[in-house]
Amino acid sequence: MQVSWMHYAAYNGAEYAMNTKSNNNHETLLRGWTSDTGEFTLRISYPDARTMRQSSMIVEPSNQWRMKEIISAELGQCAATRVEHEKDLSPANLFLLCNPSTVTAPNALLTQLVFDSPFKVEIEYDGRLENFRTLGNRSPLLNDFESRFDEFLSVPQIDLDTKNMSKVALSNLLGGIGYSYGRGVVYEWVDGIRRLKETEPFELLTDTPSRATSPCGFLWDSGFDSLVIQKWNPHISLRIIANWAERIDQNGWMAREQIAGEEARGQVPIDHWPQNPKFGNPPSLLLPLYELVLAFNKDPETSDSITLLLPHFERNLRWFTRTQHGNLHPALEAQSSAGLYRWRGRSKHYTLTSGLEDYPRGTTPNEYELHVDLAAWMAFAARTLRRLREITGTAGDVSWTRLAGAPLAQIEEDAMRAIENVHWNERAGCYQDRTIDQEGRPRGICHAL
């Protein structure tokens, strides 16, 4: 099977110079200079390529995130030209780039390669050509990865296929870490009318499902992803958590999806753009944050950085206690609504805010639903923050007292009491969501049996 592979390099600044040079060794050098980076060289090596085509163009910086569409249009024009002027045209040559253009001072350079699969492409970037690492001296880097991976995985006996698949999974996770910058979209209410509002520009370094097709941060995912990332590179994990902490607003709300800028929006369905400040997502980032504190508590610099994040996450916890609390139905045998919680933003089939998304809940959402998973998250969050304050020595810090609300220990105690007294079903032998049926009677929702 033949595969057509495209690579583009584009610059969105004002002062630049770029040119390319190809040789007979299946290698292309892109050399240039920009006011931001100074001199640079990009080398693309493609020893297995059957065909190589290049082109250049000028693309408005504001449109460079649409390069896939622009390249597709370019290929379409080339195909139309060939159909009109060439006889006996081979289908394999139909969608090749046209001959190199004569654009003056291009800011986008395209390289198209055609391979028989499987194939290999190597792309290397450096500010100075002499710093390029050649294939011959990569063995130490590969050996270092192998030894680090064995330590990272820490499984005494594992078959080769499983180990290789684990390497792919880790590489995919680490390769999905990306940086984005731009404005988000949120809902706001003016005189009771909901409308869309663009946020101020923000930056975010985070893991993503895919930097190419879903370049967004997902709060629920990021907490669990960072448990793995921190074992490979704890400093990157801390930077990711810190970036998320900066997204917690003064009210304590944090959007569950972070979609920064037009490029990220272009990869996301439009109905997913707006984030609702009435909806939350589990505080999963406390999982890796707690592990980092345990690992680096004796490192003053790292410990200080972590300590600065804790008030942000406590503010987020108190947002939950204010906005996601549950309502106590008169028919429910409970002394108090303390520790009861309900996910907002639920539909009949989905509870996207919970992170479990399509996990079955009660058939009819209502204001008296009580969700055991949210109560558990609140108990966990309060306990974790309380422990982190003790470990970092900030339990008595006066800056924490400005966060109004019940003490952390009380939030934890209330949630744990509600889990045992309200959500536990002795007959079913499990913890359940609670709801009110159509006859107005409280009942448990159990999907474990």
The angle subtended at Cα 299 by Cα 294 and Cα 305, nearest 5°, is: 85
312-324 average pLDDT score = 96
Here the contacts of 239-242 (C-beta below 8 Å, separation 24 or greater) are: 239/205, 240/177, 240/205, 240/206, 240/207, 241/285, 241/288, 241/289, 241/292, 241/309, 242/305, 242/309
**Res. 310: pLDDT tops 90:** yes
Query: For the purposes of burial, counting CB atoms within 10 Å of the CB of 411, is it exposed (0-12), middle (13-18) or buried (19 or more)?
Result: buried
**Res. 298: pLDDT tops 60:** yes
pLDDT tens digits along 13-29: 778 888 778 776 688 88
Contact 163, 154 (CB under 8 A): no
Give, as one character, the DSSP assignment of residue 252: S
Band of pLDDT at residue 231, cut at 50, 70 and 90: very high
Percent of the chain surpassing pLDDT 70: 92
Average pLDDT, the chain: 87
- Residues belonging to the chain: 449
**Res. 430: pLDDT tops 80:** yes
pLDDT of residue 132: 47
Q: Which range has highest mean pLDDT (46-60, 159-173, 247-261, 350-364)? A: 247-261
Q: Is the pTM of this model over 0.85?
A: no
pLDDT of residue 220: 93
Higher pLDDT, 192 or 102: 192
Domains parsed from the chain with CATH numbers: 2-137 (2.70.98.110), 174-445 (1.50.10.10)
pLDDT tens digits along 179-188: 988 999 999 9
Least confident of 109-113, 347-351, 402-406, 421-425: 402-406
Q: How many beta carbons lie within 10 A of that of residue 387, not counting itself?
A: 15
pLDDT of residue 372: 96
Band of pLDDT at residue 363, cut at 50, 70 and 90: confident
C-alpha–C-alpha distance, residues 242 and 61, integer Å? 29
C-alpha–C-alpha distance, residues 260 and 180, integer Å? 6
pLDDT of residue 135: 46
C-alpha–C-alpha distance, residues 118 and 103, integer Å? 34
pLDDT of residue 128: 56
Strand 274-275 relative to strand 185-190, pairing: parallel
pLDDT tens digits along 377-398: 999 999 999 999 998 888 766 5
**Res. 288: pLDDT tops 90:** yes
**Res. 238: pLDDT tops 80:** yes
**Res. 89: pLDDT tops 90:** no
Q: For the CA atoms of 379, 383, 385, 389, what is the dihedral angle to 10 degrees?
A: 160
Band of pLDDT at residue 130, cut at 50, 70 and 90: very low
pLDDT of residue 351: 93
Band of pLDDT at residue 261, cut at 50, 70 and 90: confident
190-206 average pLDDT score = 92
